[in-house]
A and B are shown apart, each in its own frame.
Chain A
Amino acid sequence: MLVHELGVDGVAARLRGDGLGIDLGAAAVCIRSDIDELPSLLSRLYGDFDVAAAPGLFDVTVQLKVERAWWRRLRPQVNLWLDGEREFEPFPRDTPLPLLEWGINYGLASRLSCHLLLHAGVVARGDKALVLPAMPGSGKSTLTAYLSRRGYRLLSDEFGVIRLDDRLVLPLLRPVALKNASIDVLRAADPALTLGPSYPRTRKGTVAHMAPSASDARAVHQPARPAAIVFPQYVPGAGAELRPLEPARTFGRLAVNSFNYDVLGPQGFEALCDVIETTSAHSLVYGDLAAAVSHIDALMAGPAAGAEPT
């Protein structure tokens, strides 16, 4: 059953009851909340995802609750609870969705150490995956979202989940958090986009969430083989230039862009080396999204992407 098939009332009943369970691919999340606008927001952004039965076994369970303290009535706030712990400062009452989404990400990042977890966007063409590590200033989310509107399957905009058994990338699909100008860029790229509300006052500026497509949501249990790694760097006014990266340098950058490479120790070392040996790595400096995409198209179609293991 898909989330939108529950209807907004069905979603609301679950949120206020045992929880709305959602299958994201490599993880399942359970959300409980008493926030009025959340049922219709989640129906919109997670509509094409599979419902996971609650009560059940989840990787992350969160509660998003309005602050009940009496002195809060004047300036209401919402809190995110992760297994009974409040990890974050509260958000204003009118900004619940960003807190929910960031809180779920935080939970996921700390629960999935059974895999090698990269901080990266991941898209795929056919069964070949392109990993886009999230250096600051990379514009990774925008680029990942844009690629998903240009014929690439979206596996994740935040997490590169590498299964240790076979080095395949597993989808961990989430609504994509777009910031500021990216919101309009994506709307222009695909007028049929499903977007959540814009929240103007977050620390990152204005944030809006883009729903993944129905076909991407259907494919959350379909892994892909890492074929290329591209480190994007957004430079306004630049065209687009792709440059190969040396393997050792790629190792360092990927290690720093991993949530748990250090915790995995020898296993993380071997896994990261394997991934680098079987992919081609590049840096991409770009200011023009369309030009960036055509470089990536050429890369993914060419022989360099997806070398066989030696």
Chain B
Amino acid sequence: MPDADGTEDHYVARADLRWRELGDDLLVFHPVSWDVHLLNAAAGMVLEACSRAPQSSPSMAQLLVDWLADDLRADADGLARSLLVDLSELGLIVPVSQRAGA
């Protein structure tokens, strides 16, 4: 949720990740933990977007909404938020502070 002054958490992907697409899935190698993470299509889209530019929950919801099946579209916000949290917990994306609309 945006803070009182309208800022949203923004995230960027770590610059030193290695990833490979295998079939429909994305495998991501984390350079510090040396763990390999298997991301499904939605998580992969979010990670790739974060590698191009800082992304926030609303921008990711917008990215996902067209791609999601009808019955899931209504919860695009929730899905986007939880994906960002998960990817952040895995250390694949990191928060940057940025004002909304900047």
Residues in A lying within 8 Å of B, measured CB to CB: 246-248, 250-252, 255, 262, 265-266, 269-270, 273, 276-277
Complex Cα gap A270–B36 (Å):
11
Stretch at the interface among B27-35, B60-68, B75-83, B90-98: B27-35
What residues of chain A lie closer than 8 Å to B22, measured between beta carbons? 247-248, 250-251, 273, 276-277
Complex Cα gap A247–B23 (Å):
6
Nearest chain B residue, comparing its CB with the CB of A255: B36
The smallest beta-carbon distance between A259 and chain B, in angstroms, is 16
Choose one: B18, B23, B24, B25; the contact of A270 (CB below 8 Å). B18
What residues of chain B lie closer than 8 Å to A270, measured between beta carbons? 18, 20
Choose one: A247, A255, A266; the contact of B25 (CB below 8 Å). A247
Instruction: Indicate the size class of the contact surface on chain B.
Output: 10 to 19
Number of A-B contacts (CB under 8 A): 38
* Beta-carbon contacts under 8 Å, B1-58 to A: 18, 20, 22-25, 27, 29, 31, 34, 36, 38
Main secondary structure of the interface of A (DSSP, over half): helix
The smallest beta-carbon distance between A212 and chain B, in angstroms, is 34
Residue of B20, B31, B34, B38 with highest tally of chain A CB at under 10 A:
B20
What residues of chain B lie closer than 8 Å to A250, measured between beta carbons? 22
Nearest chain B residue, comparing its CB with the CB of A261: B36
By the criterion CB–CB under 8 Å, are B18 and A266 in contact?
A: yes
By the criterion CB–CB under 8 Å, are B18 and A269 in contact?
A: yes
By the criterion CB–CB under 8 Å, are A273 and B20 in contact?
A: yes
